Structure 1
Amino acid sequence: MSLKPELVRGIHEYCLPPPAAAQKEAMQYILARRDCVIQVKSHVNESCVYLIPMLQAIDTSARQTQAIVIASTREIAQAIWTTVRALSKHLGVYCYSFVGGGTFPEDCHRARHRPQVVVGTVGRICGLVKRNALELDHVRSICLSEADMSMLPWSGNSPNPMDYPESPDAIKDLLRRLPVNKQFVMLSANLPAVVLEAADEYMRNHVRVPLEGKGHDLDGVKQYYISADYEREFCKLEIVHRLHQIGMLNRAVIFCSKKERVDWLTEKLRERRIPTMSVHSGVDYEERKRRIRKFSLGSVGILITTDLLARSLDGLRVPVIINHDMPWSKADYILRVDDGGRCGGKRTAITLLRPRDLELLQEIEQFCDIEIEEMIVRLD
């Protein structure tokens, strides 16, 4: 690929691992301005597959909005925005993020400055468009990250963490407003019917590129499970406490299945004088940002969260992942533990396994072509 020297410099400074063959293929299609559906391996680091071609195509001499990236949550949008800033460091590209949390008039003012790249959540971006603050006349490409999350209707019983429940209709309305010759790229871990239907309706002669490869997703991640007694309510808590005692949780993210579980575990660890920080959808967005920043700076060594953060861990460089509760699916497991090459192959993932979770663990092993070893932890 022939890329701008300034972009190449940003890529090198960001320390990206070399792209795999399928990633190169996807990037070539995007550089050729083909509409694409890219089936990713459920990791935000795959955002570079479309961000690099997108930045290559930006006309830095034209102060007009030329590219839009829509993320399913504020945290993912911020992670993508951070990546854009790093990759375009020497390009002189103006990139703004619009994720809510701030005042709407302030975002309207920023949008009227015509950022060349816009990254944000669908609710805030569509709101800016409806107020005529964000111009679409010169948009050449739009990317829908986490398309499987964004296009599925939300319900209260769904694990979908979308910040904007009406997003499917809002996204379709936005696509209708964009120039006819726009390039449309979707990234999706799964390909439900709504994603394929959107591709057929809004894309022109699109190509579909699978990036998943058996055994590739978790290269370099050391994976273990620890058997947890099904009958003892506090067994998992005792295991986490023991892992902390032996120095394995100096810097770690612990995943729980629900926000109530996050609050419970946080309280119990604090009772044992273990400093922790919790983040979930019930915490105010600005407070979530403050807590994540404290964790990223090392003020607190343990962050307890739900799958809300699973897609945006790249910038945190977390060496240890604890699955206090089993994820909902194989894809969610990969989301949690994959380091995307950003931890130098030094990440350790430990799953606290109850007997009822054994079947899913075996499915994960088969799907990823790996063997997850048992780790013995003495609690007495």
Structure 2
Amino acid sequence: MQVIPTLLAGKDAIVESQTGSGKTHAFLLPLLSMLEAGHDFAQLVITSPSRELATQTFELAKQLLEASELDWRMSLFVGGSDKERQIEKLQYQQPNIVVGTPGRILDLISSSALRVDHVRFLVIDEADMTLDMGFLKDVDAIASKMPEELQTAVFSATIPDKLQPFLRKYLRQPEQIILAPKTIINPDVDNWLFATRGKDKADLVYKLLTVGQPYLALVFANTKQTVDELTDKLKGHGLKVAKIHGGLEPRERKRVMKQIENLEFQYVIATDLAARGIDIPGVSLVINYEIPKDSEYFIHRVGRTGRNGLDGTAITLYSPEEESRVNEIESMGIKFSPKTLENNQIVDSYDRRRRTNRKATKDKLDPKMIGLVKKEQRKRKPGYRNKIKKAITRDRQQKRKIEIRQELRATRKSHKR
């Protein structure tokens, strides 16, 4: 693990980390061990772009502190919680460790309630998501209130160009580290590819959700509007469906999450907020109603299933105009199995590239072979397929013999020289 010695050495770090790389432990373990006794103010601040991510980090830090018997005061500051009560508590006592969302942390600093002038360590978790959600300005404002000798660690699935000015501003000769899980996709997850072929996608999703009765299904769409529309359509089919996206009020989202944890819903429709910001246990099926605009999110979505040694299935719907998007995902190392629905059963389908492959094979044949194929197809006599296959095989064998002879001659000539 490269992160731990880097942080223990007092260096700044830029860490590219995918889901499942163990990054939270990687920064918590060294930084918690370096906190110094006798300080009544915050020494470590960790920002996360969503309430759910911040809460997960807070709970993990709490477990580590309990296991180590370290007596540090820690506070969670996120939107949707009682800010006035937090301000009142801060006037009485400051935490040693702060975990929270950028907006709420900045609010408390701006209110002169939270002091960060003694902070020694700043961790910016999921920096690219922080940027995408428009919170980087808040993080910038938070960092500007901290001491110049601050040690900073930035964790991000990718390092977008728009993140570079911030990195140059606050990090000094940072160590660049890439943390990657052993495999890009859990081998226990089956990736199925469904061609929509002009079908009503909502109806197709309904059939896919009900054909196998998943333990818990998570369906991803790209926008809040699509999530709302798909939720309404599935409810119209009689399914009890929960929805999660950034447009929900904090209390509503918290209530829905609690219901999902209590298994009150079997089907959840969500935006990518749930792909990286929410940990929903027990997901056995993931459906990509829409292919994500950023291919990296495909990894995060599919990573919601196949956890804790359990099998999982991920289904991706696509239309012909999305062929290039599917190719892009495959170039990342994803292997799809083509599937289709027949008589309310999921069955194997054909390779979407079959026409291209057939044309490539045909173009490699000699004109006389192409003529034979056409001639035999016109005859349509019994056994014509086998006859064509045998003729093509003989032709290829003959060509290969000629190639081998040429290679042998060339080898002999080179030896004589």
Q: TM-score over 0.5 for the alignment? A: yes
Q: Decide whether the 8 Å contact of 2:123 with 2:154 is kept in 1.
A: yes
Distance 1:224 1:277, change over 3 A: same
Match of 2:60 in 1: 83
Residue 38 of structure 2 corresponds to residue 74 of structure 1: no
Match of 2:215 in 1: 250
Deviation at 1:297, TM superposition (A): 1.5
> Residues of 2 paired with 1:238 and 1:379: CA distance?
14
The superposition leaves residues 8-51 of structure 1 with CA deviations (integer Å, 9 ceiling, x where unpaired) of: xxxxxxxxxxxxxxxx0122212222100001125695333222
Distance 1:190 1:294, change over 3 A: same
The superposition leaves residues 86-127 of structure 1 with CA deviations (integer Å, 9 ceiling, x where unpaired) of: 333323443221112123211212444322221111111011
Match of 2:288 in 1: 323
Distance 1:356 1:127, change over 3 A: same
Distance 1:300 1:339, change over 3 A: closer
Moved more, 258-267 or 102-111: 102-111
The superposition leaves residues 214-253 of structure 1 with CA deviations (integer Å, 9 ceiling, x where unpaired) of: x722133423234233423x2x223322233333433121
- Pick the aligned partner of 1:106 from 72, 79, 85: 85
Amino acid at match of 1:378: E
> Residues of 2 paired with 1:142 and 1:243: CA distance?
45
The superposition leaves residues 242-266 of structure 1 with CA deviations (integer Å, 9 ceiling, x where unpaired) of: 2333334331211111111111211
- Pick the aligned partner of 1:53 from 30, 44, 49: 30
Distance 1:272 1:228, change over 3 A: same
Match of 1:365 in 2: 330
Structure 1 outlier segments of 4+, above 4 Å = 42-45, 59-63, 339-342
Match of 1:128 in 2: 108
- TM-score scaled to structure 1, two decimals? 0.82
Say which structure is richer in helix.
Answer: 2
Amino acid at match of 1:306: T
Amino acid at match of 1:355: P
Moved more, 282-291 or 76-85: 76-85
Q: Secondary structure at the match of 2:340?
A: coil
Runs (5+) with no aligned partner, structure 1:
1-23, 153-159
- Equivalenced residue count is 341
> Residues of 2 paired with 1:240 and 1:340: CA distance?
17
Q: Decide whether the 8 Å contact of 1:224 with 1:375 is kept in 2.
A: no
Residue 141 of structure 2 corresponds to residue 170 of structure 1: no
Moved more, 316-325 or 42-51: 42-51
Deviation at 1:349, TM superposition (A): 1.5
- Pick the aligned partner of 1:145 from 118, 125, 129: 125
> Residues of 1 paired with 2:235 and 2:306: CA distance?
32
Q: Decide whether the 8 Å contact of 1:129 with 1:135 is kept in 2.
A: yes
Q: Decide whether the 8 Å contact of 2:283 with 2:305 is kept in 1.
A: no
Give RMSD over aligned pairs: 2.4
Distance 1:340 1:86, change over 3 A: farther
Report the identity percentage.
27
Moved more, 274-283 or 237-246: 237-246
Residue 378 of structure 2 corresponds to residue 378 of structure 1: no
> Residues of 2 paired with 1:116 and 1:132: CA distance?
16
Deviation at 1:83, TM superposition (A): 2.6
Q: Decide whether the 8 Å contact of 1:238 with 1:379 is kept in 2.
A: no
Runs (5+) with no aligned partner, structure 2:
345-417
Residues 341-360 of structure 1: matches in 2 within 5 Å? 342-360=307-325
Higher relative contact order (CA 8 A, sep 6+): 1
Moved more, 133-142 or 73-82: 73-82
Q: Decide whether the 8 Å contact of 1:317 with 1:343 is kept in 2.
A: no
Amino acid at match of 2:186: D
- Pick the aligned partner of 2:75 from 82, 92, 96: 96
